[in-house]
Amino acid sequence: MKTININLIDDQTKESNKSKIEILTDDSDINPKVKFASIIIVISVCIVFAISFGVWSISSFMLQKTGKELADLQSAHKKVTLELSKATVIHKNLQKEKKILETKLLAQNMINSSLLPWHKVLIDISKAVPKDIKITEISKVTQVRNSNQRSILTSKGKILSKKTKDNSLKTISFFILNLNENASPDSNLEKSTVKKLDFDEKENVYNFEITSNLKSFETKSATLQ
């Protein structure tokens, strides 16, 4: 009988001579196309990952920064809004006060324009009035002509002279003359005229009514200069 001697042990030792690393790196059995594709995929993924990580890092940093900026802006806006509401209230109050003061000023001007120096006017009249004339009523009328306001003084009175009518007329003429011509420069009256002259037969006296223009303060100060 013929014996075939097979040395199996020797072969095993041959195979075990290959290290594990060699086994792992041995890619002879991998399809080269797959191998290439997987390398490309891994490299691309690495690049994409690196970019995404960069984007994420920048975004996170920017988020923090913008968040802080937003918080600062919000607090500044809140402050400004508060100031604005305060300023609005102050503005409203000031405007209200201004309106009241303007109205007061207008009222003051209006009242002042209607003022008449009665004390001086009465002195002027008493200086000009002749003995026989008795003034009974003096009143003021305000006239507006061509946007100019002027005051007119109406003086009513009676001529006490009971002599002749001519004398009475002279007396009133003297009174007018005294008012117009003989008055001092600081007199408040000008352009006096007789408006009415009636003879009262019952009392036997003349009743008269004369009007005088009142010098405005501007005209008066100009005359004095």
**Where in 72-91 is the site for other proteins (CB under 8 A)?**
73-74, 76-77, 80-81, 83-84, 87-88, 90-91
Choose between 78 and 165: whose C-beta lies nearer to other proteins.
78
149-168: buried (b, 16+ CB within 10 Å) or exposed (e) per residue?
A: eebebebebbbbbeeeeeeb
Query: Which tokens belong to 221?
Result: 């100060």
Q: Does 18 bind other proteins (CB under 8 A)?
A: no
Helix axes 165-180, 118-128, angle to 10 degrees: 130
Q: Does 37 bind other proteins (CB under 8 A)?
A: yes
Q: Does 217 bind other proteins (CB under 8 A)?
A: no
Q: Does 20 bind other proteins (CB under 8 A)?
A: no
- The footprint of other proteins on this chain (CB under 8 A) covers a number of residues equal to 77
> CB–CB of 205/160 below 8 Å?
yes
* Smallest distance from other proteins to CB 153, Å: 10
* Smallest distance from other proteins to CB 110, Å: 6
Q: Does 150 bind other proteins (CB under 8 A)?
A: no
Choose between 114 and 165: whose C-beta lies nearer to other proteins.
114
* Smallest distance from other proteins to CB 85, Å: 10
Cα–chain-centroid distance for residue 98?
A: 9
Choose between 51 and 222: whose C-beta lies nearer to other proteins.
51
Choose between 73 and 222: whose C-beta lies nearer to other proteins.
73
Q: What is the DSSP letter of 200?
A: E
Q: Which residues contact 125 (CB under 8 A, 6 or more apart)?
A: 135, 138, 155, 179, 189
| Distance in angstroms (rounded) separating the CA atoms of residues 115 and 7 | 148
Q: Does 36 bind other proteins (CB under 8 A)?
A: no
Question: Looking at this protein, which amino acid is placed at residue 104?
Answer: K
| Distance in angstroms (rounded) separating the CA atoms of residues 200 and 206 | 6
Report the 10 Å Cβ neighbour count for 206: 21
Q: Tell me, residue by residue from 93 to 112, as one string, x for binding to other proteins by CB under 8 A and - for no binding.
A: -xxxxxxxxxxxxxxxxxx-
* Smallest distance from other proteins to CB 194, Å: 19
Question: Looking at this protein, which amino acid is placed at residue 90?
Answer: I
Q: Does 144 bind other proteins (CB under 8 A)?
A: yes
* Smallest distance from other proteins to CB 67, Å: 6
